[in-house]
Amino acid sequence: MAERVAIVAVAQTKYHPNRADVSEEELAYEAIKQVLEETGLTLSDMESAITCCQDAYDGRTIASLSLQRVVGAHFGHELTVAEDGINAAYVAMAEVLSGHFETVLLVSHMKESQAEKSVIENCAFDAILMRQLGLDYTSAAALQARRYMDRYGITPEQCAKAVVRNRRNARNNPFAQEPMDVTVDDVIGSRMLASPIRLLDTKPISDGACAMIMTTEEKAKKLTKKLVWIAGGSNCYETHYLGDRELADCDALVKAAKKAYSMAGINDPLSQIDVAEISTEYSYQEPLWLEGLGFCGRGEGGKLVDSRTLEMGGQLPVNPSGGVLPGNPNGVAGMARIAEAVLQLRGEAGAGQVEGAKVALAHGYTGICGQHQAVMILANM
Amino acid sequence: MAGRVAIVGVGQTRHTSRRDDVNLPEMVGEAVRAALADAQLSIKDIEAFIFSNMESFEGILLPDHGMITEVGAIGKPGLKVTGGGTTGSEAVGEACNLVSAGLYDITMVVSWQKHDCGDATAGISAAAVPIAAKGLVVGAVSEFAKQALSYINQSGAREEHAAMVRLKADRCACRNPYAHLRLGLKGVEDYLKSGFLVWPIRLLDFCPQSCGACVVVLASEERAKKIHNKPVWVVDFEVAHQEPFSAGSFGDPTGTETYSQDVAAARLYKRNGITDVRKQVDLAEIYEPSTWEEMSLYEHFHFCEKNEGWKLIEKGVTEIEGEFPVNPSGGVIASNPIGATPVIRIAEAALQIRGDAGEHQVTRDVKTAIATSLGGPNWTAMFLLKRSL
Amino acid sequence: MSEGSPTKKVEGPEYIRIEFNLPRHYNWSTGRYLGKVYAEAKENKKMVAPRCPNCKQLWARPPSPVCPKCKVDVGWDWVELPLTGTIFQYTYQVYPLWDPHEGERWSNPHPPAIILLDNGIYFRHLLEETDTKKLKEGMRVQAVWEEDYEKRGKGFQDILYFRTIEE
């Protein structure tokens, strides 16, 4: 890409099972305040605001109505992206690259505690054909997990290893909701939710918000010495009806990753990427998404999780922040991955720092069994 | 904008109150096919999709996800935006940004709403602050009722003027094969027969809930000229959101506050050297949810002086044959599939610039047009379209 | 462009209609700012609003951590609102419309109004008087509280409506 778009500040609230002490706008403002303080900018300096929230979860038509004041949208521009937070970054990137706006505020928020997640997720399924089956994300994911494991021989133990590593890494993340030392046996012994997904294979209910500020390279240089820019990004859709696609593969992710890699000049992801933050609400998704991202061949995700590659100190540490499994709300997850990737590239990840990280990958998905996938590649200057 | 963007194809469905013959994706698919036919492109040429729909009206989570197969987006990038009534404008704006940023050459905006799946008033009532405004907001109607009262008090407009606006909209709609309400109203007596919803808004003063879809295809400058012999250039766009007025939502009864329409229009006109709107712009497709709002919007978009909007109606200035036509398509009062309405405004303006609007083509030669949208508590989005750069 | 949408004529069996109710429950939090309004209403039968330190404007309904015009922190300077005023504007509902919270159609008999409180702030609320022929803009009104402590705790709805008063 000719010009470069920089991310100059990121912030997250500490993820929490129930933020009944704040309203949506107060929750979002906690994160927004931090990025404003860090850069010394004010809401009036923001030319545009991209919010990321879902009407259904907030229980309010035009959910971003709650956020208008705290993003400074009075007589300004605000747009809501109704996908996972990583896509808000894509939209903001286009706004800056097109020259339409110079400084953009992004915020993603969700309070999973205030709504009945299953009921809302059920509304994502086709009203005539699928909704009355009573599916939600977990039961649909169980279908995908079962198909994936049966087709390629991925084992519950391998999925559990992903949980062990993510929950342990979360100990180094001050924003993590539930860091935990668990063993593979703990995971496999936990209560079954929808076979083969068990309680510890998935994440707890979570409330939180993530904010960031994006601007042009030129302006970024005046705001910070630790520059992080977007080297590539893309997203892709799959079919909606579960029976229409091979659930053991994730073609949308393969396509999104390919496009993002080519923009960033990456042809060997495993060696050219230093750290990856991927979104996994269920443990089986880790080996599956890693295949889609090209870190290993099809069906080899289990072997990858077994190896030391993904550990801290390994060739490609995945989720030094702990990722989504210790607790991240849907919708915020992808933007939080970008935030964590930015912290890595700025050398601010504390105990979870991957030494000398120069190129990071952030991933997010939206919808049933990852129907929409998005990838972003970030680099420091 | 860095790279220049043009509209190279438009398509819409016939907007109606019910579409029992199709399901949601099928309805949207009709508009997609129409737009591709107009652009003479195949679905393979579309590189990215931006979806526009207000999910609360159909009670669906992630409505774009259910569309993917029918619109041909499998394996392609895209996303959905939300923005109340301005959703469609945000979608077109975003699609333009993607092209001018150099990320794609051809993008498609897919917008729709199938109101027979739900209840729009309930959906809009749910936009009120969930705990603080319960029971106070009766959909958009009550808000526009307050706006109408303010307008009557401040400008001296009378019921006959609202009637004239409705008659104009209906005359135009009857010449537009895609419009929803084509009532064939004969005169003011027909208007006065319609009952009140929330006083002083009558049933005929207010926009319907329509089922419809509208699709536009956008292309980069390089590709646009090869695709269509009459590309319509998206020269500029401006968005201004607004806090609810201290004494109202869509109108300011105190007469002291600034409207987002004024702010957006001032910025857009200044950037593009427009000092005399009715001379330098040939047509406007504005988003007017009620008859009273149309007259008020004339003033806020600087088509006339303050408190004189009703005079333009009285003199017939904004008719199809008029000196400054506004909403020759019949406007929002004739058709309102909320997620698609702003895109319809842009599509209709583009057709007028191309001279392809058929029976509702205006008399004046349209080289420059404005398309606007209105959403939430008086948010405004405005687009400036031109025949040549 | 195609002619318009094809309309298929449906003959034969009538449509199948499947109805199921899917209530969605939410636990909305008032948060700090709206929470303060709720607390003052319930405990003290007072209506309060925060004042922006910069423009000094009161943001009553709803209160917010950020001043929309100045875009700065509103802070914690709360002002009690006078609960008498005049009717600035009112309207009345004729046609029963769906209420998403109740899940049914109803016509609120109490007219929604904008009341100009005695301190110059506009406050949107309902009027007690259901006979709209008796209403006129400019009439003096006064808030009527829910007197039962146990029944309060609904924030702005702790004021049942505004009653016209003779003065």
Reported as a single tens digit per residue, the pLDDT across A342-363 is: 999 999 999 999 999 999 999 9
Phi, psi dihedral angles at A336 (to 5 degrees): -65, -35
C3 CB burial (10 A radius; 0-12, 13-18, 19+): exposed
State the DSSP code for A185.
Answer: H
A57 or B266: which leads in pLDDT: B266
> Which residue among B10, B34, B198 places its CB closest to the CB of C91?
B198
Q: Does domain A5-116+206-223 have CATH number 2.40.50.140?
A: no
Provide, rounded to the nearest whole percent, the portion of chain B with pLDDT above 90.
73
Q: Tell me which chain B residues have a C-beta less than 8 angstroms from the C-beta of C22.
A: 59
Question: How many Å apart are CA A125 and CA A119, to the nearest integer?
Answer: 11
Query: C72 at the A interface (CB within 8 A)?
Result: yes
Query: B196 at the C interface (CB within 8 A)?
Result: yes
Q: Which long-range contacts (CB under 8 A, 24 or more apart) does A40-46 make?
A: A40/A223, A41/A103, A41/A213, A41/A223, A42/A72, A42/C71, A42/C72, A43/A70, A43/A71, A43/A72, A43/A105, A43/C66, A43/C71, A43/C72, A44/A72, A44/C71, A45/A103, A46/A71, A46/A72, A46/A76, A46/A103, A46/A104, A46/A105, A46/A213
Q: Name the minimum distance, in Å, from the CA of B278 to any CA of chain C.
A: 30
User: Binning pLDDT at 50, 70 and 90, where does residue C4 land?
Assistant: very low
**Model pLDDT, residue B249:** 67
Question: How many Å apart are CA B386 and CA B202, to the nearest integer?
Answer: 36
Give domain limits for chain C.
27-81, 82-167
Give the neighbours of chain B: at least 3 Cβ pairs within 8 Å.
A, C
Q: What is the 3-state secondary structure (H, E, C) of chain B?
A: CCCCEEEEEEEECCCECCCCCCCHHHHHHHHHHHHHHHHCCCHHHCCEEEEECCHHHCCCCCHHHHHHHHHCCCCCCEEEEECHHHHHHHHHHHHHHHHHCCCCCEEEEEEEEEHHHCCHHHHHHCCCCCCCCCCCCCHHHHHHHHHHHHHHHHHCCCHHHHHHHHHHHHHHHCCCCCCCCCCCCCCHHHHHHCCEEECCEEHHHECCCCEEEEEEEEEEHHHHHHHCCCCEEEEEEEEEECCCCCCCCCCCCCCCCCCHHHHHHHHHHHHCCCCCHHHHCCEEECCCCEHHHHHHHHHHCCCCCCCCHHHHHHHCCCCCCCCCCECCCCHHHHCCCCCCHHHHHHHHHHHHHHCCCHHHCCCCCCCEEEEEEEECCCEEEEEEEECCC
Q: Is pLDDT at B119 greater than 80 in this prediction? A: no
**Model pLDDT, residue C15:** 76
Beta bridge partners of A275: A360
CATH topology classification for C82-167: OB fold (Dihydrolipoamide Acetyltransferase, E2P) (2.40.50)
Question: How many Å apart are CA B159 and CA B161, to the nearest integer?
Answer: 5
Give C17-51 pLDDT, tens digit per residue. Answer: 777 778 888 888 989 999 999 999 999 999 999 99
Contact B138 C100 (CB under 8 A): no
User: Binning pLDDT at 50, 70 and 90, where does residue B1 land?
Assistant: very low
Residue of C nearest to B11 (CA): C1
Q: At what angle do helices B341-354 and B87-100 cross, to 10 degrees?
A: 60
Residue of C nearest to A33 (CA): C73
Beta bridge partners of B373: B381
Q: Name the minimum distance, in Å, from the CA of B123 to any CA of chain A.
A: 6
Residue at token pair 């702003």: B342
Q: Which amino acid is at B19?
A: R
How much is the ipTM here? 0.94
Q: Is pLDDT at B160 greater than 80 in this prediction? A: yes
**Residue whose C-alpha is closest to residue A371's, from A264, A242, A282, A283:** A242
Residue at token pair 């750069």: B389
Distance between start and end Cα atoms, chain B = 13
Residues in chain A whose Cβ is within 8 Å of chain C: 19-27, 29, 42-44, 56, 59, 68-70, 72, 74, 111, 113-116, 119-120, 122-123, 132
B378 CB contacts (<8 Å, ≥6 apart)? B242, B244, B245, B249, B250, B251, B259, B260, B261
Contact C91 B149 (CB under 8 A): yes
State the DSSP code for C51.
Answer: B
Q: Where are the alpha helices (DSSP H) in A229-273?
A: 251-264, 269-272
State the DSSP code for A205.
Answer: P
Record the tokens describing residue B254, joined without a space.
Answer: 């105190």
User: Binning pLDDT at 50, 70 and 90, where does residue C96 land?
Assistant: confident
Confirm if A186 and A200 have CB atoms less than 8 A apart: yes
**Model pLDDT, residue B138:** 58
**Model pLDDT, residue B137:** 58
Question: How many Å apart are CA B73 and CA B80, to the nearest integer?
Answer: 12
Question: How many Å apart are CA C124 and CA C132, to the nearest integer?
Answer: 17
Confirm if B212 and B337 have CB atoms less than 8 A apart: yes
**Model pLDDT, residue B134:** 61
B21 CB contacts (<8 Å, ≥6 apart)? C6, C7, C8, C10
**Model pLDDT, residue C12:** 62
Mean pLDDT of C116-132: 90
Three-state DSSP state, C100:
coil
Q: H-helix or E-strand containing A79? A: strand A77-81
**Model pLDDT, residue B145:** 82
A128 CB burial (10 A radius; 0-12, 13-18, 19+): exposed
Q: Name the minimum distance, in Å, from the CA of B145 to any CA of chain C.
A: 7
Contact B37 C1 (CB under 8 A): yes
Query: B307 at the A interface (CB within 8 A)?
Result: no
Confirm if B164 and B316 have CB atoms less than 8 A apart: no
Domains and CATH numbers, chain B: 5-120+209-227 (3.40.47.10)
Record the tokens describing residue B358, joined without a space.
Answer: 């058929």
Q: Tell me which chain B residues have a C-beta less than 8 angstroms from the C-beta of A234.
A: 77
**Residue whose C-alpha is closest to residue A323's, from A309, A315, A312, A307:** A312
Q: Tell me which chain C residues have a C-beta less than 8 angstroms from the C-beta of B10.
A: 1
**Residue whose C-alpha is closest to residue B76's, from B36, B103, B114:** B103
Query: B140 at the A interface (CB within 8 A)?
Result: no
Residue at token pair 């950037």: B271
**Model pLDDT, residue B271:** 96
**Model pLDDT, residue C3:** 42
Q: Which amino acid is at A274?
A: D
User: Binning pLDDT at 50, 70 and 90, where does residue B102 land?
Assistant: very high
Residue of B nearest to A102 (CA): B1
Three-state DSSP state, C83:
coil
Question: How many Å apart are CA A262 and CA B378, to the nearest integer?
Answer: 42
Contact B199 C26 (CB under 8 A): no
Residues in chain C whose Cβ is within 8 Å of chain B: 1-8, 10, 15, 22, 26, 28, 30, 34, 61-62, 68-69, 88-89, 91-95, 97-101, 108, 112, 114, 116, 121-122, 124-126, 132, 155-157
Give B28-66 pLDDT, tens digit per residue. Answer: 999 999 999 999 999 999 999 999 999 888 888 999 999
Residue of A nearest to C68 (CA): A69
**Residue whose C-alpha is closest to residue A169's, from A350, A360, A356, A13:** A350
C159 CB contacts (<8 Å, ≥6 apart)? C41, C47, C83, C125, C143, C144, C145, C146
Contact B177 C93 (CB under 8 A): no
In chain C, beta strands by DSSP E: 48-50, 78-80, 84-90, 97-99, 104-106, 112-117, 122-126, 140-145, 159-164
Best of A69, A74, A129 to substitute, by most chain C Cβ atoms within 10 angstroms, is: A69
The number of helices, as runs of H, and strands, as runs of E, in chain A is: 13, 11
Contact A94 B94 (CB under 8 A): yes
Question: How many Å apart are CA A117 and CA A59, to the nearest integer?
Answer: 12
Mean pLDDT of B108-114: 95
State the DSSP code for A367.
Answer: S
Contact C29 A115 (CB under 8 A): no
**Model pLDDT, residue C1:** 34
Question: How many Å apart are CA A185 and CA A196, to the nearest integer?
Answer: 15
**Residue whose C-alpha is closest to residue B50's, from B18, B117, B5:** B5
Residue of A nearest to C70 (CA): A44
Give the neighbours of chain C: at least 3 Cβ pairs within 8 Å.
A, B
Q: Tell me which chain C residues have a C-beta less than 8 angstroms from the C-beta of B13.
A: 4-5
Query: B82 at the A interface (CB within 8 A)?
Result: yes
Q: Is pLDDT at B384 greater than 90 in this prediction? A: yes
Phi, psi dihedral angles at C143 (to 5 degrees): -70, 140
Q: What's CA B163's distance to the chain center, in Å?
A: 21
Q: Is B78 left (phi over 0), alpha (psi -120 to 50) or beta?
A: left
Q: Split chain A (381 residues) into runs of 10 and give each run's mean pLDDT.
A: 84 96 95 96 95 90 89 93 95 94 96 93 88 92 97 96 97 96 97 96 97 95 94 95 92 97 96 97 97 96 95 96 96 97 96 96 96 97 70
Q: H-helix or E-strand containing A361? A: strand A359-366
Lowest mean pLDDT among A18-32, A127-141, B138-152, B360-374: B138-152
**Model pLDDT, residue C11:** 63
Backbone CA torsion sign across A233, A239, A242, A248? negative
